[in-house]
Chains A and B, each alone.
Chain A
Amino acid sequence: MLSSIGNILVILVITLSFLIIYNASLDIKFSSQFIKKNIYKLSLFQITFTVLSFFTLIIGFVISDFSLINVYENSHTAKPFFYKIAGTWGNHEGSLLLWVNILVIFSYLFLIFNHIHDKKFRLYTLIVQNILILGFLFFLLLNSNPFNSIYPIPLEGLGLNPILQDPALAIHPPLLYVGFVGCSIFFSAAMASLLSGYGGKIFAQSIKTWVKISWCFQTLGIIVGSIWAYYELGWGGFWFWDPVENASLLPWFAITALMHSLIVLEKRNTLYSWVIILCLLTFILSVTGTFLVRSGILNSVHTFASDPSRGIYILLFLSLMIFSSLIIFFTKYKKETYNFNLKSRETFILVNNWFMAFFLLTVLIGMLYPIFLDVLTNVKISVGPPFFNIVIIPLVVPFLFFMAIGPKFGWVKSRNKFFYKFFYLILGAVIINILIFYFFGKYSFLSNLIFIAAIFLILQSCIDVKKIINNKNKFELPRVISHLGFGLLVFFIGVNYQFSIEEDFNLKVGEIKKINNYEVNFQDIKIKDNKNYKAVIGIFKLTNFKNNLVQYLEPEIRIYSNPETLTYEAAIKTKITSDLYLTMSNVSRSDYYNIKFQNKPFMIWIWISALMISLGGFVQLTLKKNED
């Protein structure tokens, strides 16, 4: 039943996409100012049917309709209601349907919200976007159809991987999808701009809101994923340079560069070609990331049961996208003249772009090198955190400095007057760093530099905040919030890295272990039955000898029955100054439990400052509304 409804809806959407492309290409030739009514209507139908198809799948999951293979493979009647819904996008087929939904929604919104812009440009955008929609719809229908049915109908489903049954992971994919798939709209707009010759300043205005929306959601999605990894994976870290994390960083570097150079295009009407390249690159990298993850070429925590045929399809589609965009770019390319003064804001925005390009290149090489080596020489290697740390961290120092001073320069050309202020701030940063170094402990020369640079950026941003409050110039606020967030993030990561305590050991019930100022007492073990899992709960008494504080932590081992899996739930006590982190695991049912104890200073502040970065973007979006 649901299977046929779903399939009919998908086929309807395909038909509508063809109709939209056909009608739009007819309408381009008309010289009238307005887009024909029927294109609006078709688009409205398209978005309605797409959203309906997604709801059909959600209903399938909610009522546990196991006649759908997808529901059978990824759901179970005993699963909590919330995770039944989240299960819809917790698997390859369902998430692809979500992907198509976002493509369609952005396509429709771009059509109706941009009526002040050129008709030809909007129509070309619509056509390119619908070609993308068709590409993914055919992939969905032929290779990964969530509405495939199964007969005879199974009585019970296989269940969702328990590690995915987590609130952070329920919202992580939709956020990332809005962020990554949202990039499609300015990919289409960039192609349309090349095709219709509608470029320059106005082009920047037409896409800037969409770039910001995507950027905000990408940033937020990556943070939520990182928070999930912190408390669910039980390693106590938040960034592992895992191939999948890298795949999500690539488009983020590109879109961050784009967001900055877009300002130059809008204000100074230059850098047009570069902006176009970044528009194209961002979405291409998003699809590349998806391809690498879904095809199973990269192995990592995101193991969707992989299937090579998927990879081949996405690879074909990807190469088609890259080649056609390159061909259009080079046939339509017009020469620009650049006229930059060294001491101007646009120069510093270019500096930002150089850094982003470097980070992007590093991560890309680190990610792809093992794949190439395996294919060419059959030697298996992996590239771990040390590589990324060595290459990226030293460059963060100048990056932070430029981030602090760049926005102080005016457009076109600045005077020299205000340089002495930087000198005072750097001096202040050095003094604060020396105090930290002296009172709390020693760290390397590079760490010193990073702390100084981060403190410099933080001080500079604080002064900016004060200025904004005095002048009531709120349009600078988003930039300051994000830059301050980044400075704090680097600072707290540095502190966290330098002053964390980590210890692994094995304990039996009743045993005691001492670590620095702490005593870990494994007092007891409890067993508790829950709706869809059984929990083995360890009770640990933690004594801090420094302030005689006693705390109880209760990490769990969860035994899920559908599918049969173990997960380890960390016990985390969060305080403003530090996190206590304890995980417990058991090896082949011996008396010894494997304990990981960590004390991580300022953990909560890492999240807060990361959230500030994306908050800046959201603030800007609301400001934009008030301005209009």
Chain B
Amino acid sequence: MLNKKVKKRIIFLTFIFLLSIVVVFFILNSLNKNIVYFSSPTEIKQTEDIPFGKAMRIGGMVKKGSITISQKNIQFIVTDFENEILVSYSGTVPNLFAEGKGVVAEGSLSDKNFFIASRILAKHDENYMPPEIKEIIEKNVK
């Protein structure tokens, strides 16, 4: 039979093993609750059961001539050249935010045509295009 030392070691290793499973499960679980999905306006239109009020990111181009500003907020239209969505935002805009340029906004949907942004992501390189938006544009503009 197993002697005492080996037994002790097996118990110890099982303990460590179980502990790491619990830890990884815990991390993955909270990861699942906190991931933020990225969608284009078209994907929002097409998805049936899109959750309203949950944190997500949208991306596309800021439609030309669509920015309106008031004391409370900024509104603009994000388009992927097929569908578009109205975005309302109050907060600082990054320096490369402009009409006709790519944008990624984080926030939540209030309905399928209206998005309330809590953050507009800053990009600091004038030539830089977020990869998600590049893909959208390549798909829709030929």
Contacts and interface: CB of A to CB of B under 8 A. Distances in A.
* Chain B binds chain A: yes
A550 interface: no
Contacts, number: 109
Interface string B83-121: 000000011110111110000001000000000000000
A585 to B, nearest CB: 6
Interface size class of A (residues with CB under 8 A): 35 or more
B12 to A, nearest CB: 10
Contact of A387 (B31, B96, B106, B126): B31
Contacts of A386: 34
Nearest to B19: A354
A605 B96 CA distance: 32
Contact of B99 (A235, A387, A588): A588
Candidate in B67, B93, B95, B122 with the most chain A CB atoms within 10 angstroms: B95
B57 interface: yes
A585 B122 CA distance: 13
B93 A365 contact: no
Contacts of A563: 126
Contacts of A506: 69-74, 90
Given A382-B57, A504-B91, A161 B38 contact: no
Contacts of A504: 90-92
A274 B43 CA distance: 49
Interface in B19-75: 23-24, 26-28, 30-31, 33-38, 55, 57, 67, 69-74
Interface in A376-398: 379-384, 386-387, 390-391
B28 to A, nearest CB: 7
Given A161-B124, A387-B35, 15 more contacts: A161-B125, A234-B92, A299-B130, A380-B132, A382-B35, A382-B36, A384-B55, A387-B33, A506-B71, A511-B71, A565-B126, A566-B96, A587-B67, A594-B91, A596-B92
Contacts of A475: none
B126 A592 contact: no
Q: Interface residue tally of chain B, by bracket?
A: 35 or more
Where chain B touches its partner, the secondary structure class is loop
Contacts of A567: 95
Interface string A335-366: 00000000000000000000000100110011
A507 B125 CA distance: 27
Interface string A559-592: 0000111111000000000000001010110101
Most buried by B among A305, A381, A565, A596: A381
A414 interface: no
B127 interface: yes
Contacts of B127: 305
A42 B28 CA distance: 51
A381 B93 CA distance: 22
A331 to B, nearest CB: 23
Interface string A221-265: 000000000000111000000000000000000000000000000
B124 A592 contact: no
Contacts of B92: 234-235, 504, 568, 583, 585, 594, 596
Interface of B: 23-24, 26-28, 30-31, 33-38, 55, 57, 67, 69-74, 90-93, 95-99, 106, 122-128, 130-132
A564 B124 contact: no
A592 B71 contact: yes
Nearest to A564: B126
A505 B74 CA distance: 9
Contact of B131 (A299, A379, A596): A299
A523 interface: no
Nearest to A595: B92
A391 B35 contact: no
Contacts of A566: 95-96
A566 B37 CA distance: 30
A508 to B, nearest CB: 8
Given A383-B35, A585-B92, A391 B126 contact: no
Contacts of A301: 122, 124
A282 to B, nearest CB: 21
B111 to A, nearest CB: 22
Contacts of B91: 504, 594, 596
Contacts of A383: 31, 34-36
**Residue among B27, B93, B132 with the most chain A CB within 10 A?**
B27
